[in-house]
Amino acid sequence: MNVLVIREFEDFSRMLIAGDATVINCPTIRTSQKEDVLDLEEKLQRLDSFDGIFLTSRKAAEIFRKKHREYDLRFRGRVYVFGKRGFNVLKNEGFDLYGDAAAGTVQEMLDAIAPAELANKRFLIICGENALPTVVDHLSPISTVERTVVYRTETMLVGPALREKVVSLAKRGEIALACFFSPSGAASFLSQFGASLLCGTKVAVIGKTTAEYFARANIRVDLISEKPDAADLANAVLKFQRYRSLTAAAH
């Protein structure tokens, strides 16, 4: 089974390959730290003035960890992290970490936190340029919020050889699933290939936010991971593969 993965090769692809899937990696975006993170550095100098920090991506968690180590800080407040990948970046750093494994979106994570824990506090949000205002909107009416942007998401143009391979396989109906991990990655893919490329392909997405993007684009989603977690999506894809194989054998 050919699976198109709209992401660079990493653990997700390894899990699929271990389950006998043939993986074609086709990253369409990349994230990079801003050259100038002076705003973050200024806020780190007064880190103890914050009661908590919110991080909603792995990249934000990685940059925060790097700077926290660089400045040899000891933050005593709580660090709220959405997503398993970001949580794992910080789990051995000695922070008072909060992460809700059951939360499918940032809003669901926020809703799971007792309002009294968030009211009348001072929070720092560390995020990317394209981050949705979900945390700011939730916290601003009840607390003081400061936000700092530390990374950007950029479009990656798919090279001619890979593009030709993907288009050729899709036209022959030889891509069983296309897996998407973010609205920005999906938007970049669609702008480069067009939605018609997915007509004969099942679409799998990680989490509700990406599923909502496809719904707004009127593109059907066939598989949604129950959690915003790569392992959960990989298991769903491999389960689909086994079902497809059994169905084919029955006929």
Which residue range is the domain that position 179 belongs to? 2-28+156-250
Same domain, residue pair 58 and 111: yes
**Last residue within a domain, chosen from 126, 154, 182:** 154
pLDDT of the residue at 213? 94
pLDDT of the residue at 248? 47
CA atoms of 231 and 13, how far apart (whole Å): 10
Same domain, residue pair 124 and 148: yes
**Last residue within a domain, chosen from 107, 129, 154:** 154
Same domain, residue pair 17 and 63: no
Count of CB atoms situated within 10 Å of the CB of 35: 6
Report how many domains make up the chain: 2
pTM score, whole prediction: 0.85
CA atoms of 24 and 8, how far apart (whole Å): 10
Same domain, residue pair 58 and 18: no
Query: Domain containing 103 — which CATH number?
Result: 3.40.50.10090
pLDDT digits (tens, 9 = 90+) for 129-149: 989 899 999 999 999 999 999
pLDDT digits (tens, 9 = 90+) for 64-79: 999 999 999 989 999 9
pLDDT of the residue at 241? 78
pLDDT of the residue at 245? 59
Same domain, residue pair 62 and 174: no
Same domain, residue pair 49 and 22: no
Same domain, residue pair 226 and 140: no
Same domain, residue pair 122 and 169: no
Same domain, residue pair 54 and 141: yes
Same domain, residue pair 188 and 118: no
In whole numbers, what is the pLDDT of the chain averaged over residues?
92
Spans in the chain with pLDDT lower than 50: 246-251
**Last residue within a domain, chosen from 102, 121, 154:** 154
pLDDT digits (tens, 9 = 90+) for 151-186: 999 999 999 999 999 999 999 999 999 999 999 999
Same domain, residue pair 39 and 146: yes
Burial of 51 (0-12, 13-18, 19+ CB in 10 A): middle
Same domain, residue pair 227 and 123: no
pLDDT of the residue at 240? 85
